[in-house]
Structure 1
Amino acid sequence: MMTKAEVIAILSAQSGVPAASMTAETLISDLGLDSLGLVETIFALEERFGVTIPFNANTPQDDSAFDLSTVAGIVSGIETLIARPAAA
């Protein structure tokens, strides 16, 4: 799916890890991003997809949390946000 390829491209650009070495199961913690790098990645994702990633990202106890732990989690979260109707 196109979203996955674009998410991987953004993660690769932010982390310096080759896109070809990433899969859906790749752990974001394995990409070597520091906290600033992760924030920059979130901004890049928001800008590219026209979404706002919630502040509760990666809050395991919250069922509506945006999963930032894996590539698949980010792709799923982005697709969910894209599918939501825009707030009035």
Structure 2
Amino acid sequence: MEIRDKVIEIVAEQAVLEPSDVKMDNTLEELGIDSLGLVESIFAIEEAFDISVPFNANNPTEGDFDISTVQSIVAGIETLIRDQKT
């Protein structure tokens, strides 16, 4: 499964939507995902991809991991996976 597809599946599950309803330029807020849903999404992403996401739940805007849109989350995960392999 593609990284993008898995992230969309995880985000859709948190938003109680169908994956087809999740667009790459959606923000999590637009999808109705609150801060708890965001944390649960991050945990699910870490588990699905066996990575550690540099994310501070107390201050989500800090750090290098961009959670502004679905696309930015996918890009961040791709970078983390690539960096772990090197």
* Length-normalised TM-score, structure 2: 0.84
Q: CA deviation at 1:86?
A: 5.9
Identity of aligned residues (%): 43
Question: Could you say which residue in structure 2 is the equivalent of 1:75?
Answer: 74
Q: Deviations over 1:38-82 (max 9, x none)?
A: 1111000000011111035533xx6xx111111110100000000
**Unaligned 5+ residue runs, structure 2?**
none
**How do residues 22-33 of structure 1 correspond to structure 2 at under 5 angstroms?**
22-33=22-33
Q: CA deviation at 1:85?
A: 3.1
Instruction: Write the distance in 1 (CA, Å) between the matches of 2:26 and 2:35.
Output: 18
Instruction: Write the distance in 2 (CA, Å) between the matches of 1:29 and 1:10.
Output: 15
Question: Could you say which residue in structure 2 is the equivalent of 1:66?
Answer: 65
Structure 1 consecutive aligned stretches of length 4 or more whose deviation exceeds 2 Å: 55-59
Instruction: Write the distance in 2 (CA, Å) between the matches of 1:69 and 1:17.
Output: 19
Instruction: Write the distance in 2 (CA, Å) between the matches of 1:24 and 1:34.
Output: 18
Instruction: Write the distance in 2 (CA, Å) between the matches of 1:2 and 1:58.
Output: 26
Instruction: Write the distance in 2 (CA, Å) between the matches of 1:19 and 1:71.
Output: 12
Question: Could you say which residue in structure 1 is the equivalent of 2:19?
Answer: 19
Which stretch of structure 1 is more off in the superposition, 30-39 or 73-82? 30-39
Instruction: Write the distance in 2 (CA, Å) between the matches of 1:55 and 1:27.
Output: 17
Question: Could you say which residue in structure 2 is the equivalent of 1:43?
Answer: 43
